[in-house]
Amino acid sequence: MRDLGPARVVRLREVAVLMATLGLPGAASAGQREWQGQVQEIQLSNEELQKLDTFEAHTMAKADKVFVAKDYKRAAAEYDSFILEFPRSKAIPYALLRKARCLQLQAKRNEAIKGYAEVLDYYPNAPKYAAAALFYTGLSHWENGDDEKAMQAWSRMAEDKGYSKQPLAAWAVSRLADHLAANDHPDKAMAYRQQVAADFRRSNPEAANSAIAQVVYYCVHTKPDEPALRAFYEKVRTFGPAPRKADDRTEESRAYWAAVRDAVHRNGQFPEDQGELRRRYYSYWAGVMAGKFPDWDDFQIDMAHFQRLADKDTAKWMQRLDAQFDRYEKPDDYGRIVRWIRLYRDQKPKAMLYYNKLKFEKMANGHIRELMGAFFDELRDPEMARNTFAKLRLDDMRDDEKAGLARYLWPKDAALVKDVCMTFQDKELGQAELLRFYHSKKDAANGVPVADGLAQAPRFAKEALFKKAQLLQWSGKFAEAIAAYQQADNPPDNLWGIAECFAKTGKLDQAVAQLREVENFFKDHAPEAAMRIARLYNDAGKDKLYIAALRSVLKKYPESGQSSEAHQHLERLGIKIGGGVDAE
């Protein structure tokens, strides 16, 4: 089947997704050729280090330390000294590579290329270093703006059986694939991406998983080809992040077809002006699925959905779904009925036909709750949702199930939340859940009485008093809120609230005193307390105290985020940054 999408758009999309995933630069202009991906530098292994004598190891460690410090000019000299002093060392290939890398990192790319050539000429059978030299040769050319020479180097790397298995090859081959895809060679690009996906599942999973995504996109969207997709699935041992053996008969594997369906869903986006391409895409995949797994509802539902997207015939879609339901209908299969109601969310009359099949006295609570959720969230019929709620057997539910139901109902219906909370076997827990609901709504009128009752229960008393205090504060009853905060006794949280209430009533000294208590007794919160004091002085127009408080933050908490904030405030005020001697 020929390419479905406008070639250039599809190729650019493929390239953009892969390059974004790999952290590669996008444009090819000379000013944008710095390598942005975090490519790990080649290092000596512990086994290689053990083969060095004491003097070699010491000298090499010194050079590596300078390299890590990014003093590349000096590091190049250190590696050169090692080469001159220990010409027979087993670490010479590494030293030559690192010396050339230092030149490249100083933007002396042409000199670096000559250095990499030494590694390739003298140590071609040391794949760890020769492959890296070839990779960095290509990278140097690419950074110089010479794409063709870069691709030549990376092509050589991709074709060499020894070099192509080295970790850096994943990046080189991926970049080569990008280049081919962008230059009208999508099939060749896919071959290289398959190579990355197969060879680097474990050694470079980031590159491998990105390549898998691109090959899947190509075989599913760009050039739909189910046999090619299946062969790739087997080659890379499934599409998941952790490779595993595919089923012996992949074509009959439900795991494989679940992956196919997921890929068709994820990759089925088309611009509005590509309606014909979209139709052909879904027509192809619906056709591929036809005749398979007749007893698998998930599969048949997806196939009907894909066919509907292809032919836009809603009547035939409903016929397919109805036929599937009737073909495998079983007595009292209420979960399946609820599922069909959800499928017909946009065809209310059809959904109600299935609703009439239900016998609530035989249904499990879980299915009734699922149906209630469908009416609330999918069919957008709150009245039917409330009617369905009334069918729930709340007495048969555990308290944790009721808590989950109540939390679900928070944004739906306050009366239903209360009804659920009143049925808890643990009455105190039910009241706590109800208080949490009213608190979330900042509903003091209903929440404060519940909090007063719950304050008598020792295990919920602190929470009840604190929430009561917040509800009172939010409703502007600051004096009552302060009293409740003091009773809550959960510092420093209640102290923050008390300070805010004092500030709202113009009692600046009392507010500052509460914040000082936080600063003095709660180390983790001290910088924020000190900064809040400064804000209070600023809000009150007490400029001298405000500046002094900012300086105090700088002096006492120099490593904190609040110190940075204080610094910025002082700079905006044009105040010289000094010590906090006058800040107390």
CATH classification of the domain holding 116 = 1.25.40.10
Place of tokens 């229960």: 457
Q: What is the pLDDT of residue 215?
A: 97
Which of 240, 269, 298 is where one domain is finished? 269
Q: What is the pLDDT of residue 39?
A: 67
Which of 164, 196, 228 is where one domain is finished? 164
Question: Does 87 fall in a domain?
Answer: yes
Q: What share of the chain is helix, strand, coil (3-state, %, to 5)?
A: 70, 0, 30
Q: Are residues 88 and 159 part of one domain?
A: yes
Question: Does 329 fall in a domain?
Answer: no
Question: Does 383 fall in a domain?
Answer: no
Question: Does 579 fall in a domain?
Answer: yes
Q: Are residues 194 and 121 part of one domain?
A: no
Nearest to 143 by CA among 31, 15, 60: 31
Cβ 546 vs Cβ 538: under 8 Å: yes
Q: Are residues 107 and 204 part of one domain?
A: no
Q: Are residues 177 and 158 part of one domain?
A: no
Q: Are residues 159 and 92 part of one domain?
A: yes
Residue 294: other Cβ atoms inside 10 A: 11
Q: Are residues 200 and 159 part of one domain?
A: no
Which of 164, 197, 232 is where one domain is finished? 164
Question: Does 390 fall in a domain?
Answer: no
pLDDT tens column, 163-219: 999 989 998 999 899 999 998 899 999 999 999 999 999 888 988 999 999 999 999
Q: Give exposure, 223-236, as e/b (b: 16+ Cβ within 10 Å).
A: bbbbebbbebbbeb
Range of the domain at 5: 1-24+167-269
Q: What is the pLDDT of residue 578?
A: 53
Number of domains in the chain: 3
The stretches in the chain having pLDDT less than 70 are 1-39, 578-584
Q: Are residues 502 and 548 part of one domain?
A: yes
Integer CA distances (angstroms), 548 to 514, 518, 521, 534, 536, in order: 18, 19, 21, 8, 12
The sign of the CA dihedral 50, 56, 57, 63 is: negative
Q: Are residues 175 and 158 part of one domain?
A: no
Question: Does 486 fall in a domain?
Answer: no
Question: Does 192 fall in a domain?
Answer: yes
Q: Are residues 195 and 129 part of one domain?
A: no
What are φ and ψ of residue 476, in 5° steps?
85, 10
Q: Are residues 160 and 172 part of one domain?
A: no
167/287 Cα distance (integer angstroms): 40
Question: Does 374 fall in a domain?
Answer: no
